[in-house]
Amino acid sequence: MTTIAKKIDALVRDVPDFPKPGIIFKDITPILQDAQVFKETIDAMANILRAENLRYVAGIESRGFVFASALATALGVGLVLLRKPGKLPWKTLKATYQLEYGTDAIEIHEDAVAQGDSVAIIDDLLATGGTATAAACLLRDAGADVKKILFAIELDFLQGRQKLIQAGFKNIESFVHY
Ligand code: AMP
Protein backbone atom coordinates (compact mmCIF):
# COMPACT_ATOMS: atom_id res chain seq x y z
CA MET A 1 0.00 0.00 0.00
CA THR A 2 1.12 3.57 -0.64
CA THR A 3 1.69 5.89 2.33
CA ILE A 4 -1.62 7.69 1.81
CA ALA A 5 -3.48 4.39 1.40
CA LYS A 6 -2.11 3.16 4.74
CA LYS A 7 -3.19 6.37 6.47
CA ILE A 8 -6.70 6.20 4.98
CA ASP A 9 -6.99 2.51 5.84
CA ALA A 10 -6.01 3.23 9.45
CA LEU A 11 -8.79 5.82 9.83
CA VAL A 12 -11.73 4.37 7.86
CA ARG A 13 -14.36 3.06 10.27
CA ASP A 14 -16.40 -0.03 9.41
CA VAL A 15 -20.03 0.33 10.48
CA PRO A 16 -21.83 -3.03 10.16
CA ASP A 17 -25.47 -3.14 9.04
CA PHE A 18 -25.65 0.51 7.97
CA PRO A 19 -27.78 1.76 6.26
CA LYS A 20 -29.32 -1.73 6.07
CA PRO A 21 -28.55 -5.26 7.29
CA GLY A 22 -25.62 -6.94 5.54
CA ILE A 23 -23.89 -3.71 4.39
CA ILE A 24 -20.57 -2.77 5.98
CA PHE A 25 -20.51 1.00 5.64
CA LYS A 26 -17.06 2.54 5.18
CA ASP A 27 -17.26 5.73 7.24
CA ILE A 28 -14.74 8.32 6.02
CA THR A 29 -15.56 11.01 8.61
CA PRO A 30 -12.47 10.13 10.76
CA ILE A 31 -10.33 11.10 7.74
CA LEU A 32 -12.04 14.49 7.55
CA GLN A 33 -11.50 15.01 11.29
CA ASP A 34 -7.75 14.44 10.91
CA ALA A 35 -6.42 17.71 9.48
CA GLN A 36 -3.13 16.16 8.37
CA VAL A 37 -4.53 13.05 6.67
CA PHE A 38 -7.38 14.97 5.02
CA LYS A 39 -4.83 17.42 3.61
CA GLU A 40 -2.53 14.59 2.48
CA THR A 41 -5.48 12.87 0.78
CA ILE A 42 -6.33 16.04 -1.15
CA ASP A 43 -2.63 16.59 -1.98
CA ALA A 44 -2.31 13.00 -3.27
CA MET A 45 -5.47 13.38 -5.40
CA ALA A 46 -4.25 16.75 -6.71
CA ASN A 47 -0.89 15.20 -7.67
CA ILE A 48 -2.69 12.56 -9.75
CA LEU A 49 -4.92 15.11 -11.47
CA ARG A 50 -2.46 17.94 -12.05
CA ALA A 51 -1.17 16.46 -15.31
CA GLU A 52 -4.68 16.18 -16.76
CA ASN A 53 -5.13 19.91 -17.39
CA LEU A 54 -8.67 19.86 -16.12
CA ARG A 55 -11.36 22.46 -16.59
CA TYR A 56 -13.46 20.97 -13.76
CA VAL A 57 -13.57 18.42 -11.03
CA ALA A 58 -17.04 16.89 -10.65
CA GLY A 59 -18.11 15.66 -7.21
CA ILE A 60 -20.76 13.00 -6.61
CA GLU A 61 -23.30 13.84 -3.87
CA SER A 62 -22.65 13.96 -1.06
CA ARG A 63 -19.30 12.72 0.27
CA GLY A 64 -17.76 13.25 -3.16
CA PHE A 65 -18.45 16.99 -2.71
CA VAL A 66 -16.16 17.10 0.33
CA PHE A 67 -13.15 15.83 -1.60
CA ALA A 68 -14.02 17.51 -4.91
CA SER A 69 -14.45 21.00 -3.50
CA ALA A 70 -11.11 20.88 -1.67
CA LEU A 71 -9.51 19.51 -4.84
CA ALA A 72 -10.98 22.22 -7.05
CA THR A 73 -9.38 24.82 -4.80
CA ALA A 74 -6.07 22.95 -4.66
CA LEU A 75 -5.94 22.62 -8.45
CA GLY A 76 -7.37 26.03 -9.25
CA VAL A 77 -10.20 24.59 -11.36
CA GLY A 78 -13.98 24.82 -11.22
CA LEU A 79 -16.35 22.45 -9.46
CA VAL A 80 -19.35 20.65 -10.99
CA LEU A 81 -22.00 19.09 -8.76
CA LEU A 82 -23.50 15.70 -9.64
CA ARG A 83 -26.66 15.58 -7.52
CA LYS A 84 -29.56 13.35 -6.58
CA PRO A 85 -32.76 14.13 -8.57
CA GLY A 86 -34.71 17.22 -7.68
CA LYS A 87 -31.93 19.04 -5.83
CA LEU A 88 -30.50 21.27 -8.56
CA PRO A 89 -32.41 24.52 -9.13
CA TRP A 90 -31.69 25.13 -12.84
CA LYS A 91 -32.47 23.03 -15.96
CA THR A 92 -30.89 19.61 -15.64
CA LEU A 93 -29.64 16.59 -17.57
CA LYS A 94 -30.32 13.24 -15.93
CA ALA A 95 -28.92 9.68 -16.05
CA THR A 96 -30.92 6.85 -14.52
CA TYR A 97 -29.26 3.67 -13.29
CA GLN A 98 -30.20 0.30 -11.88
CA LEU A 99 -30.10 -0.49 -8.16
CA GLU A 100 -30.53 -3.92 -6.56
CA TYR A 101 -34.23 -3.05 -6.27
CA GLY A 102 -35.49 -0.26 -8.51
CA THR A 103 -33.61 2.65 -10.02
CA ASP A 104 -31.87 5.82 -8.98
CA ALA A 105 -30.70 8.84 -10.95
CA ILE A 106 -28.12 11.58 -10.95
CA GLU A 107 -28.33 15.06 -12.43
CA ILE A 108 -26.16 17.98 -13.53
CA HIS A 109 -27.12 21.45 -14.64
CA GLU A 110 -27.49 21.50 -18.42
CA ASP A 111 -24.85 24.26 -18.61
CA ALA A 112 -22.46 22.59 -16.14
CA VAL A 113 -19.99 21.59 -18.86
CA ALA A 114 -19.34 22.65 -22.45
CA GLN A 115 -18.22 20.55 -25.42
CA GLY A 116 -14.66 19.29 -24.93
CA ASP A 117 -14.24 20.37 -21.29
CA SER A 118 -11.79 18.11 -19.43
CA VAL A 119 -13.32 16.74 -16.25
CA ALA A 120 -12.32 14.37 -13.44
CA ILE A 121 -15.02 12.69 -11.37
CA ILE A 122 -14.47 12.31 -7.63
CA ASP A 123 -16.27 10.23 -5.01
CA ASP A 124 -15.34 8.83 -1.63
CA LEU A 125 -16.01 5.21 -2.56
CA LEU A 126 -16.56 2.94 -5.58
CA ALA A 127 -18.96 0.10 -4.75
CA THR A 128 -21.07 -1.50 -7.54
CA GLY A 129 -20.15 1.35 -9.87
CA GLY A 130 -23.73 2.26 -10.74
CA THR A 131 -23.44 5.81 -9.48
CA ALA A 132 -20.01 6.54 -10.97
CA THR A 133 -20.92 4.98 -14.34
CA ALA A 134 -24.10 7.06 -14.55
CA ALA A 135 -22.10 10.17 -13.58
CA ALA A 136 -19.44 9.47 -16.21
CA CYS A 137 -22.00 8.74 -18.96
CA LEU A 138 -23.95 11.88 -18.06
CA LEU A 139 -20.84 14.07 -18.34
CA ARG A 140 -19.74 12.35 -21.57
CA ASP A 141 -23.22 12.77 -23.09
CA ALA A 142 -23.07 16.45 -22.11
CA GLY A 143 -19.90 16.76 -24.21
CA ALA A 144 -17.22 16.58 -21.52
CA ASP A 145 -13.98 14.64 -21.86
CA VAL A 146 -13.85 12.44 -18.73
CA LYS A 147 -10.11 12.23 -18.08
CA LYS A 148 -10.08 10.41 -14.76
CA ILE A 149 -12.40 8.86 -12.17
CA LEU A 150 -10.88 8.99 -8.71
CA PHE A 151 -11.91 7.46 -5.38
CA ALA A 152 -10.44 7.30 -1.91
CA ILE A 153 -11.74 3.72 -1.49
CA GLU A 154 -12.74 0.89 -3.85
CA LEU A 155 -14.64 -2.25 -2.84
CA ASP A 156 -12.99 -4.58 -5.36
CA PHE A 157 -15.38 -7.49 -4.71
CA LEU A 158 -18.34 -5.46 -6.05
CA GLN A 159 -16.58 -5.01 -9.42
CA GLY A 160 -17.59 -1.40 -9.98
CA ARG A 161 -14.41 -0.92 -11.98
CA GLN A 162 -15.64 -3.49 -14.55
CA LYS A 163 -18.89 -1.56 -14.95
CA LEU A 164 -16.95 1.64 -15.66
CA ILE A 165 -14.62 -0.12 -18.10
CA GLN A 166 -17.58 -1.68 -19.95
CA ALA A 167 -19.04 1.80 -20.37
CA GLY A 168 -15.75 2.94 -21.94
CA PHE A 169 -14.05 4.59 -18.95
CA LYS A 170 -10.61 3.14 -18.30
CA ASN A 171 -8.81 5.82 -16.33
CA ILE A 172 -9.88 4.82 -12.82
CA GLU A 173 -7.83 5.18 -9.65
CA SER A 174 -8.45 4.46 -5.96
CA PHE A 175 -6.12 4.71 -2.99
CA VAL A 176 -7.39 1.86 -0.80
CA HIS A 177 -8.81 -1.44 -2.05
CA TYR A 178 -10.95 -3.80 0.08
P1 AMP B 1 -22.28 2.32 -6.12
O2 AMP B 1 -23.18 3.06 -7.04
O3 AMP B 1 -22.81 0.98 -5.69
O4 AMP B 1 -20.85 2.25 -6.61
O5 AMP B 1 -22.27 3.14 -4.75
C6 AMP B 1 -21.46 4.22 -4.63
C7 AMP B 1 -22.04 5.30 -3.75
O8 AMP B 1 -22.66 4.79 -2.57
C9 AMP B 1 -20.93 6.19 -3.28
O10 AMP B 1 -21.37 7.54 -3.37
C11 AMP B 1 -20.65 5.76 -1.87
O12 AMP B 1 -20.44 6.88 -1.06
C13 AMP B 1 -21.87 5.00 -1.42
N14 AMP B 1 -21.55 3.65 -0.88
C15 AMP B 1 -21.88 2.47 -1.43
N16 AMP B 1 -21.51 1.44 -0.65
C17 AMP B 1 -20.89 1.98 0.42
C18 AMP B 1 -20.24 1.44 1.59
N19 AMP B 1 -20.15 0.12 1.80
N20 AMP B 1 -19.70 2.31 2.46
C21 AMP B 1 -19.79 3.65 2.26
N22 AMP B 1 -20.38 4.21 1.20
C23 AMP B 1 -20.93 3.40 0.28
Predicted confidence at residue 100, as pLDDT, reads: 78
* pLDDT for 109: 98
pLDDT score at 88 = 98
Q: Which domain holds residue 170?
A: 53-177
pLDDT bucket at 170, cuts 50 / 70 / 90: very high
Q: Is residue 63 part of a domain?
A: yes
Q: Please tell me if the CB atom of residue 26 comes closer than 6 angstroms to any atom of ligand 1.
A: yes
pLDDT, tens digit, for every residue of 17-38? 999 999 999 999 999 999 999 9
Mutating to test ligand 1, I would choose from 25, 81, 101, 131 the residue with most ligand atoms within 8 A of its C-beta, which is 131
* Residue 164 falls inside a structural domain: yes
Structure confidence at residue 98 as a pLDDT band (50, 70, 90): very high
How close is the Cα of 33 to the center of ligand 1, in Å?
20
Which pLDDT value is given to residue 10?
Answer: 98
| CA 128 to ligand 1 centroid distance, Å | 8
Could you report the per-residue pLDDT of 43-93, keeping only the tens digit for each? 999 999 999 999 999 999 999 999 999 999 999 999 999 999 999 999 999
Tally of structural domains, the chain: 1
- Asked whether residue 43 is assigned to any structural domain, the reply reads no
Q: Is the CB of 28 under 6 A from ligand 1?
A: no
CB 59 near ligand 1, within 6 Å? no
d(CA 114, CA 125): 27
Domain assignment present for residue 24? The answer is no
58 CB-near residues (< 8 Å, 6+ apart) = 68, 79, 80, 81, 82, 108, 112, 119, 120, 121, 122, 135, 139
CATH number of the domain that 121 lies in? 3.40.50.2020
Ligand 1 pocket test, pick from 106, 123, 125 with the greatest ligand atom count within 8 Å of Cβ, gives 125
Is 30 domain-assigned? Answer: no
pLDDT at 132: 98
Is pLDDT of 101 > 90? no
Q: Report if residue 159 sits inside a domain.
A: yes
Inside any domain, residue 6: no
Instruction: Using alpha carbons, list the distances in angstroms from residue 124 to 37, 68, 115, 119, 156.
Output: 14, 9, 27, 17, 14
Any domain includes 37: no
CA 127–ligand 1 middle distance (angstroms):
5
Catalytic residue list: 63, 100
pLDDT digits (tens, 9 = 90+) for 103-138: 999 999 999 999 999 999 999 999 999 999 999 999
